[in-house]
Amino acid sequence: MKTLIKNAQCVLPEGTTRTNILIEGSTIADIDPAASITADEVIDATGLHLLPGVIDDQVHFRDPGLTHKEDIHTGSLASARGGVTTFLDMPNVNPAMTTCELLERRLELAASKAVVNYGFYIGATPDNIDELKKARRTPGIKIFIGSSTGNLLVDGQDSLERIFAETTLPICAHCEDEKTVRENAERLGGGKSFADHSRIRDHEAALIATRRAVDLSTRHRHPFHVLHVSTAAEVEFLKSAPDWVTSEVCPHHLYFSVEDYDRLGSLVQMNPSVKNREDCEALWKALAEGDIDVVATDHAPHLLEEKDKPYPQSPSGVPAVENLLALMLDGVSRGRLTLDRLVRTMSENPARIWNMKGKGSIAVGHDADLVLVDQQKPHPVRNEDQITRAGWSPWHGVDLMGSPVRTLIMGRTVYANGRLDRTPHGQEVLFDRGG
Ligand code: DOR
């Protein structure tokens, strides 16, 4: 099967240019072939931009064990709708994914349910170092240095030293200092309001844990990725980190601050917590200037009836995967970042950081994971339209500017003109381990 995408403004690694792309089977076969070349399908993309598919390297699709909130099928459908062609999922499912056997089982599950491409981090515990050492079919190791949803936590220094010293896979971590969070919670009687969430999971907690993890990575020269940076202070600190340390921001930390608790309550309760307006501004600036490497969602769905509980029983986390690209296109429309930066941080960099084979850029021989976007098309976010099983978005009521209009996974159109192909053709991501 040959597909020709004609006349798109293509965001290539060397720059944006209006050209044609030929896909053969699941691969990009040619860039700039003659427009007259024969193909089984021709897509006229005049007026649209063609981007490499988005790689969301931080999602929680809750499968297995918590599938009343989401599963791999619903989460991957939401991804396809949003222009996300590959997701990397977190291990805080039930049972927590901390062994190679559970990883294999999860990969089998995904093969039967995923509409887009997939990979799964293996979770660290204080005593599963042997599993972490032998794991192969995974992007890397996830450490909860501070606890969040679920019971994964490694905060003992000896355990952390061993993981950084003895394993070779890249590591990413949830950085909030457990001791600081516990002390704050005690001082505030456990917390009485949603706003207390940001006093408990405060600026200090984030900075202390990020410093600690970067120190481990520096001493052990171990590739390390800081998930969901939420403070200006972390951004400043990370500027002096070694170049094998990379960092990530989530849309909710760019868009929301403590000022939004009055309006949105638990709908903006997540870990790390939202911080101050100045932190949002510092994060946007760092993103635009190349001081943050990745934008990803931390898509963490919970049902509204769960979110309706009073603090601190209300769970932390927000869904976002189907709006990720539109949120950042809206940032482009408001001059917050360039389209080029968007593609670096949402496709190229995650592919490079996690050593993915054939992903992250529009290049001959790469997988044809692609998204066409219309920068002039409004993208209204409404709860009733959300595909995630959670059925809501903290951006409900917002009209974003710029929308994904067509998503191709391995050469197949999976989303176009408001319609989704629900068949699970997603494929396991392969990782380059240097032979
Ligand atoms: O708010 C969050 N929710 N942060 C996390 O790190 C985990 C996530 C979840 O799984 O619910």
The conformation of residue 278, written as its DSSP 8-state character, comes to: H
300 CB under 6 A from ligand 1?
A: yes
The per-residue pLDDT for 397 is 98
299 CB under 6 A from ligand 1?
A: no
DSSP string, 174-219: E---HHHHHHHHHHTTT-SSHHHHHHHS-HHHHHHHHHHHHHHHHH
Closest CA to 6 of 35, 41, 38: 35
Query: How far apart are alpha carbons 336 and 338 in whole angstroms?
Result: 7
Taken in order of first residue, the domains within the chain and their CATH numbers are 2-50+364-420 (2.30.40.10), 54-353 (3.20.20.140)
Ligand 1: distance of its center to the CA of 208 in Å? Answer: 19
Ligand 1: distance of its center to the CA of 26 in Å? Answer: 34
Query: How far apart are alpha carbons 70 and 37 in whole angstroms?
Result: 43
271 CB under 6 A from ligand 1?
A: yes
Atom number, ligand 1, closest to the C-alpha of residue 174: 6
Ligand 1, atom 4: closest residue by C-alpha: 271
Query: How far apart are alpha carbons 259 and 31 in whole angstroms?
Result: 47
The per-residue pLDDT for 435 is 56
Closest CA to 111 of 433, 423, 432: 423
Atom number, ligand 1, closest to the C-alpha of residue 60: 10
3-state secondary structure of 118: strand
Angle, helix 100-113 to helix 72-81, in steps of 10 degrees: 60
Contact present, 64 and 106 (Cβ < 8 Å): yes
Ligand 1: distance of its center to the CA of 271 in Å? Answer: 6
Query: How far apart are alpha carbons 60 and 311 in whole angstroms?
Result: 22
Catalytic residues: 298
Tens digit of pLDDT at every position of the chain (435 positions): 999 999 999 999 999 999 999 999 999 999 999 878 999 999 999 999 999 999 999 999 999 999 999 999 999 999 999 999 999 999 999 999 999 999 999 999 999 999 999 999 999 999 999 999 999 999 999 999 999 999 999 999 999 999 999 999 999 999 999 999 999 999 999 999 999 999 999 999 999 999 999 999 999 999 999 999 999 999 999 999 999 999 999 999 999 999 999 999 999 999 999 999 999 999 999 999 999 999 999 999 999 999 999 999 999 999 999 999 999 999 999 999 999 999 999 999 999 999 999 999 999 999 999 999 999 999 999 999 999 999 999 999 999 999 999 999 999 999 998 999 999 999 999 999 875
Closest CA to 371 of 117, 50, 29, 18: 50
Atom number, ligand 1, closest to the C-alpha of residue 62: 10
Best residue among 58, 59, 60, 225 to mutate for probing ligand 1, ranked by most atoms within 8 Å of CB: 60
Contact present, 402 and 377 (Cβ < 8 Å): yes
**What backbone phi and psi angles, to 5 degrees, belong to 373?**
-125, 145
**What backbone phi and psi angles, to 5 degrees, belong to 263?**
-85, -40
Count of positions (residues) in the chain: 435
pTM above 0.95, yes or no: yes
Ligand 1: distance of its center to the CA of 371 in Å? Answer: 27
Contact present, 409 and 53 (Cβ < 8 Å): yes
CA 222 to chain centre: 21
